[in-house]
Amino acid sequence: MDVVVTGGRGQTGRWVVDRLTEDHSVTCLDREHPGADGHPEVEYRAVDLTDQGSVFDVLTDLDPDAVVHWAAIPAARIQSGVDTYRNNTLAAHSVLTAAGRIGAQVVQASSDGAYGFFFADETPVPDELPITEDHALRPEDDYGLSKIVTEEIGKTIARRDDVPVVSLRPSWIQLPGEYPCRDEEYTSDLAAGAGNYWSYVDVRDVADMVEAALTSDVTGHEAFNCVALDNALGRPLRELMTEYYGRVPETSSVEGDVAAYDTTKASDLLGWEPTRSWRTAATETVPSPQV
């Protein structure tokens, strides 16, 4: 399969690119060309993804089977809210519109930020545990709002151009050997991780989920939670919720040290299961991808 990956030189995008080169021909679109320092099996094009004409030109020229849209400002408060919203929504509109016009399937990075928990002024107790993809989306920040808009763009493209669009909702992506969710500052203070209910996911599991989405039989638009099976503190989730928030939701079926997010949908429709845990991955020595 010929696959275009946007944002493939970013901190997590490079892991996606590296994983996809195992089975596909990959072209990376990013703001800057790496020159001779890029991945030897990847073609590169430099492009401003918010420029719709440039994006349409390059994608019609490449004519890929699939587009993985991973480029975005990755969290709230990194840049001004207006810049984050403008960049993320315009880039998604440019890339997904062009992908739809050429009939390419799409996998894109959304976020658990779309639910509105992490960057809320006061993180609410969720309506349910575990949190399914049907949970209400109530962001109070421009980043989370931008992710809702990118998913709505995905729904539009899927309807209009009859291409499958998968939106992945990772929760705090960790790199092997660099797990900040296991730093003492985080593990010794419940407040440090309460915003996403102590959830996380290994970047390699994210990359595997992208691959699973590309080779799935999903039609239309579907969103999927993307998290590790356990929580980052290794404690019973009910205990953590009660200790920090004072209660668990009335609708709750979690037991043990599980994550707050449900990944059953991804297992059923994509055949994906997370296989990494902080218990081993936090201290792993794994070379960083060359992209």
Q: How far apart are CA 11 and CA 263, in angstroms?
A: 24
Q: What confidence score (pLDDT) does residue 117 get?
A: 95
Q: What does the DSSP 8-state code read for residue 70?
A: -
The helix or strand, by DSSP H or E, that contains position 146, with its residue range, turns out to be helix 142-161
Token pair for residue 66? Answer: 């699939």
Residues 46/32, Cβ–Cβ less than 8 Å: yes
Q: What confidence score (pLDDT) does residue 80 get?
A: 59
Q: What confidence score (pLDDT) does residue 76 get?
A: 53
Give domain limits for the chain: 2-175+199-229+262-275
pTM of the predicted structure, to 2 decimals:
0.96
Sequential pLDDT tens for the chain (291 residues): 999 999 999 999 999 999 999 999 999 999 889 888 888 999 999 999 999 999 999 999 999 999 999 999 987 556 557 899 999 999 999 999 999 999 999 999 999 999 999 888 899 999 999 999 999 999 999 999 999 999 999 999 999 999 999 999 999 999 999 999 999 999 999 999 999 999 999 999 999 999 999 999 999 999 999 999 999 999 999 999 999 999 999 999 999 999 999 999 999 999 999 999 999 999 999 998 987
Q: What confidence score (pLDDT) does residue 78 get?
A: 60
Q: What confidence score (pLDDT) does residue 43 get?
A: 96
Contacts of 219 (CB under 8 A, 6+ apart): 158, 164
Token pair for residue 224? Answer: 């999927």
Q: Under CATH, which architecture does the 2-175+199-229+262-275 domain have?
A: 3-Layer(aba) Sandwich (3.40)
Residues forming a β-bridge with 169: 225
Q: Which amino acid is at 7?
A: G
Residues 58/45, Cβ–Cβ less than 8 Å: yes
Residues 213/222, Cβ–Cβ less than 8 Å: no
Compute how many other C-beta atoms are within 10 angstroms of the C-beta atom of residue 255: 9
Return phi, psi of residue 186, to 5°: -80, -45
Q: What confidence score (pLDDT) does residue 137 get?
A: 97
Give 267: exposed, middle or buried? Use CB within 10 Å, 0-12, 13-18, 19+.
middle
Give 184: exposed, middle or buried? Use CB within 10 Å, 0-12, 13-18, 19+.
exposed
Q: What confidence score (pLDDT) does residue 36 get?
A: 81
Map residue 201 onto helix, strand or coil.
strand
Picking from 36, 14, 37, the residue whose alpha carbon sits closest to that of residue 26 is: 14
Picking from 258, 263, 198, 260, the residue whose alpha carbon sits closest to that of residue 224 is: 263
